[in-house]
Amino acid sequence: MLLSRQSALRASCVEGPAPAGGAGDGCPPVRGALCPPRELEEVEAALERIAQGRFGGCEQCGGAIGRQRLLAVPEARCCLTCADARARDTDR
C-alpha cells in the first residue's frame, strides 16, 4: 500500500503544476491532484521504518500502533492516544 502511494505521489509531482485550490483555501488537497511534499515525506519515512524493523511502534510512547489505525493511515508515526494528545496540544 505504501509503495503504491509513494509511486502515485511521485507521479503527481512530475505531471506538472498543481491545479488551483486545495492549498490555503480551507479545503483538503485531493489525493493525486497535487504534489503534497509532506505526505510523500511521511510515506517514505514509513517505508524506512519498515526497512529498519520499527514500523508499527509509536514514536512517542513506544507502544504498538493499532492495526486499524495502520490500515487507515499506514504512514502513522504515533498511536491514536498520542496523536490525539498532540492534536489537543496543537489546538491550544
Scan for cell 512530475, then name that residue: 14
pLDDT in tens, 40-89: 999 999 999 999 999 999 999 999 999 999 999 999 999 999 999 999 98
Judge if pTM exceeds 0.75.
Answer: no
**Which pLDDT score, from 0 to 100, does residue 51 have?**
96
For the four alpha carbons of 39, 28, 72 and 6, in that order, the dihedral sign comes to negative
**Which pLDDT score, from 0 to 100, does residue 14 have?**
62
**Which pLDDT score, from 0 to 100, does residue 15 have?**
53
Confidence band, pLDDT 50/70/90 cuts, at residue 12:
confident
> CA 5, CA 14: separation in Å to the nearest integer?
14
Instruction: Return the closest-CA partner of residue 43 out of 74, 68, 72.
Output: 74
**Which pLDDT score, from 0 to 100, does residue 31 have?**
47
Scan for cell 485531493, then name that residue: 30
